[in-house]
Structure 1
Amino acid sequence: MIPPKPKPRADRVSLWRYMRLFRQDILSAQPARLYRAWMAEFRTPFFRSFMVNQPALLDLVLKERPDDFPKSDRIGEGLRPLLGESVFLTNGETWKRQRRIINPAFEGGRLRDTFPAMWAAAEAACDRMGAGEVEVEEQMSHAAADVIFRTLFSIPIEHEVASEVFTQFRDYQRTQPILNLAAFLPLPRFLPRGHRRKTRATARAIRDLITRLTAERMAEIRAGTAPDDLATKIMTTADPLTGDRFTTSEMVDQVAIFFLAGHETSASALAWTLYLMALYPDWQERVAEEAQALNSPDISIMSKLKLSRDVFREALRLYPPVPMMVREAARPERFRDRDVPKGAQIVLSPWHLHRHERLWDNPDGFDPTRWQTENGKTCQREAYMPFSTGPRVCTGAGFAMVEGPLLLSMLLKRYRFERVEGKDPVPVAFLTVRAKDGIHLRVTPRQEA
């Protein structure tokens, strides 16, 4: 059985129709030819876009000359009410300063320090799972949020503020499309950006709650009573070039993106991985057998979860949480004998790249063994970027590749997951790749199976 994907459109549509499709679901709005094209051009009356799938061009944009292809504000406009000037949206020297302060918190040694908190969140997720028909996207959202709050602020999801942030973020996720009006029209800065009233109100509520947590942590740092977690590490790290630290307002921006990137994307990846385990029960049993090695909250145990890691990596290939990224050409370029004007949008699509028919063997199939093949190894280097790549690679990529296999293994050690007939999920892109009507699976405790 082939894992589900949206049926791409095969015909040409008007710009107005395309905009409507794009706002509803970015994946099914795209034509089928993008799964085999090295580059494709899309024109509007206001700007030109070029989707790039050729590995050499991806390297040029993301690795060789990233400063010439900054992040596009057309995508950032939709997220700015929540994320402000976070590292996800900034460019140039501002972004470089932010990364210099943030990066040390996610180095290898810090992962070892945060692992017990991650383990505790995974155990709590197993305790909450229950039995019967379960909508696992919601469960994984809860689990991923718990991981973030335990590792960032040393508080569980049951904490009053953490629980309220989680609740408000669910509302935000349901009202915020991946693109808004500013993505298509050249709106002057003084005009409204097309954000929905509910979206703006929810973003304000989330930021107010994060401000409360951040201000409390600042006070604990000054008093010498702060726990040694990720928030303390980031807030006490000075820029090695200037000696500056994040202010409270700057830290609020960063915490907002940590929560979005570390919760929303992890929840998406874990939910789709569980669905794939239900779709391929032989693989599920192999991962569950491997998971018997889990016996202590020490990060060294991760070396024993090789199958779980390959399965999770394959789920990220088929269902990359961030389906598309957009850069902007800072100067005129020439790609594949075609002029790319200054200001053109360069669309990088993990969704299409990971299923590209000219790059991958069996591109739409689920095959965790591919990572040991020559084709898989080559594609992992050249055509696999669930966390982006180059200088702007996700800071938490290593964190996610510990969290995902750990939670997957602990859940499969305790439970068996099965498809619910007639409820196979349909992928759509909201803030991340989610299922149109959720992912419903039948869950059975293994001691009762």
Structure 2
Amino acid sequence: MTQPPKPASRPDKVSLWQYMRLFRRDILSAQPERLYRAWMAEFRTPFFRSFLMNQPALVKTLLKDRPDDFPKSDRISEGLRPLLGNSVFLTNGETWKRQRRIIDPAFEGGRLRETFPAMWQAAEAAAQRLGETGDLPQDVEPLCSHVAADVIFRTLFSIPIEAPQANAVFEAFKSYQRTQPLLNLGAFVPLPRWMPRFFRKDTKSAAVHIRRLIADLTEARQQKIDAGTAPADLATKIMTTPDPETGECFTAEEMVDQVAIFFLAGHETSASALAWTLYLMAIFPDWQDRLAAEAQVLEAEDFAVMSKLRLSRDVFREALRLYPPVPMMVREAQCPERFRDRTAPKGAQLVLSPWHLHRHTRLWDNPDGFDPGRWQTENGKTCMRDAFIPFSAGPRVCPGAGFAMIEGPLILSRLLRDFRVVPVEGAVPVPVAHLTVRSANGITLRVERR
């Protein structure tokens, strides 16, 4: 039976320095096989202690029951700070709560219907571009990045990816994403605040350039808001929504921070998920044909059609299980804690790993297999509730989770309605962690018109 590709797992016993070298190169292949069956694991280094939390009850404690006691780790955020500043993805405490009070209304259920036309137009444009490439083997990751960025700019700023401002951000981000590892040295060494951080020069300069371009977009939008000519899109909604407790809106600098994370979360993560879904469709052609048949309902721009894309939604959800775009999230213990007869000291790094949780051998039936039908089984329903966190969970769940679950199935169905994806012999992608879970050498498929 065909199995989706996994990274190579390291032996269970290696030295700390060997592990750090493996970790720096790729955090996925550095992980030992035992972590896919452990409820909890402890790692000791000369600098700090960390714990992998795999048991659903532990995940619930950290994300749902006591999130304020386990804020996001500052060590992990150091690597993303030059691009994201103090965005909602990195902040904690009252600052984070204020940001969510302003952002959340833009992603309420009714807003999905309003953003659907922009998603539809981006999917149509992607199908047209794909039809112009011929049936030669091609890396589908750039295609997925392009359409995901197009969705973001159309829904956020009402401009297509071809617009000069949007294209400039997209091109700058492409040079940034492969230079930025998921974690930097700050994740290993507790550096004092005054000490310079160890960023690659090209990574930092790319981040500065992206932020300057985003600042131009937000400044232009503010001028339209002031003039009463701004479109009713996500940017306008967020920039004009006051905090219900203080009455204050985001400042210009804060809005740059938020747009940066919207682009990262809404573009990079969606592109990762869509690319892996297309690969899974290529190696499981029976499922691909079923989705293509279901996609025949995509005849007119109508939000109601999403209720008819049930198979596409289950396939996309299964891809998120096997290849969660954000493979690990790190929280920090504010006080000494006791978990499963282990003491986690104050400052301990508590790792929540969708990558391990979604493939855990003690939770899932056929954890490494591709089975979209699992979501209709009792095991699948239980695991979706207790062990499926591609968008995190609890108060810090991604505000765009509903957005992503419309965007992904829609684009997938639209492309498969007109095109067939076929694997290329010898081109087996190897998942690695950059900003998100990507393939080490791209995902090469042959795309044929149906």
Tell whether the structures are fold-level matches, with TM greater than 0.5.
yes
Aligned counterpart, 2:425 = 421
Give distance in 2, aligned partners of 1:75 and 1:15. 19
Query: 1:360 is paired with a residue of what secondary structure?
Result: coil
Q: Give 1:330's aligned residue.
A: 334
Contact kept? 2:148, 2:266, Cα under 8 Å: yes
Question: Residue 299 in 1 paired to residue 303 in 2?
Answer: yes
Partner of 2:259: 255
| Greater Cα shift, 257-266 or 1-10 | 1-10
> Could you tell me the percent identity over the aligned residues?
74
What is the aligned counterpart of 2:401 among 393, 397, 401?
A: 397
Structure 1 distance, partners of 2:187, 2:256, is 25
Aligned partner of 1:344 in structure 2 is 348
Residue of structure 1 equivalent to 2:85: 84
Look up the match of 2:179. Answer: 175
Q: Give the match for residue 415 of structure 2.
A: 411
Aligned to 1:5: 6
Give 1:164 shift.
Answer: 1.0
- Alpha-carbon distance in structure 2 between the residues aligned to 1:260 and 1:24: 22
Alignment of 1:198 onto 2:202: yes
Bigger CA drift: 149-158 or 10-19?
10-19
Could you tell me how far apart the structure 2 residues matched to 1:249 and 1:298 are? 37
* CA–CA separation in structure 2 for the residues paired with 1:11 and 1:303: 45
> Which of 245, 263, 271 is the aligned partner of 1:241?
245
Instruction: Name the SS of the counterpart of 1:110 in structure 2.
Output: helix
Q: Distance in 1 between matches of 2:433 and 2:5?
A: 14
Match of 1:212 among 211, 216, 221: 216
- Report the residue type matching 2:305 in the other structure: I
Structure 1 residue 257 displacement after superposition: 0.2
State the alpha-carbon separation in 2 of the partners of residues 296 and 331 from structure 1: 55
1:274: Cα distance to partner? Answer: 0.2
Measured after TM superposition, the shift of residue 424 of structure 1 is: 1.1
- Report the secondary structure of 1:78's partner residue: coil
Residue 188 of structure 1: how far off its partner (Å) = 1.1
Rounded to whole Å, the distance in 2 between the matches of 1:108 and 1:181 is 40
- The aligned counterpart of 2:94 is 93
Paired with 1:192 and 1:395, the residues of 2 have a C-alpha distance of 33
Alpha-carbon contact 2:12-2:33 (below 8 Å) kept: no
Worse-superposed segment, 6-15 or 227-236? 6-15
Per-residue deviation at 1:16?
A: 2.3
Give the C-alpha shift of residue 192 in structure 1.
1.1
**Which residue of structure 1 aligns with residue 320 of structure 2?**
316
Question: Partner letter of residue 15 of structure 2?
Answer: S
Kindly report structure 1 stretches of 4+ aligned residues shifted beyond 4 Å. none
Query: Is the 1:22–1:179 contact (alpha carbons within 8 Å) kept by the matching residues of 2?
Result: no
Q: Which residue is 1:115 aligned to?
A: 116
| Contact 1:112-1:298 at 8 Å conserved across structures | no
SS of the residue aligned with 1:175?
coil
Unaligned runs of 5+ in 1: none
**Which position in structure 1 is the counterpart of 2:161?**
157
Match of 1:231 in 2: 235
Supply the RMSD in Å over aligned alpha carbons: 0.6
Letter in 2 for 1:371: W
Q: CA deviation at 1:7?
A: 1.6
Question: Is contact 1:23–1:178 with CA below 8 Å preserved after alignment?
Answer: no
Secondary structure of the structure 1 residue equivalent to 2:112: helix
**TM-score between the two structures when normalised by the length of structure 1:** 0.99
Amino acid at match of 1:19: M
1:181, distance to aligned residue in structure 2 (A): 1.2
Q: Mind listing any 5+ residue stretches in structure 2 that lack a counterpart?
A: none
Which residue in the other structure is 2:290 paired with? 286
Q: CA–CA distance in 2 between the matches of 1:387 and 1:435?
A: 20
Indicate if the aligned counterparts of 2:429 and 2:441 stay in contact, CA closer than 8 A: yes
Note the C-alpha offset of 1:328.
0.3
- Give 1:15 shift: 2.3
Q: Does 1:266 align with 2:294?
A: no
In the TM superposition, residue 144 of structure 1 has moved relative to its aligned partner by 0.2
The code of the aligned residue for 1:380 comes to: M
Alpha-carbon separation, structure 1, partners of 2:199 and 2:234 = 31
Cα deviation, residue 11, structure 1: 3.5
TM-score, with normalisation over the residues of structure 2? 0.98
Q: What residue number does 1:363 align with?
A: 367
Q: Distance in 1 between matches of 2:396 and 2:283?
A: 34
Distance (Å, rounded) in 1 between the aligned partners of 2:429 and 2:169: 27
Per-residue deviation, residues 202-241 of structure 1 (Å, max 9, x unmatched): 0000000000000000110000000000000000000001
Mapped contact 2:119–2:407 kept (Cα < 8 A)? yes
Question: 1:22 and 1:154 mapped to 2: Cα distance?
Answer: 40
Equivalence for 1:103: 104
CA contact (8 A) 1:41 1:50 kept: yes
Residue equivalent to 2:36: 35
Does the 8 A contact of 2:12 with 2:34 survive in 1?
no
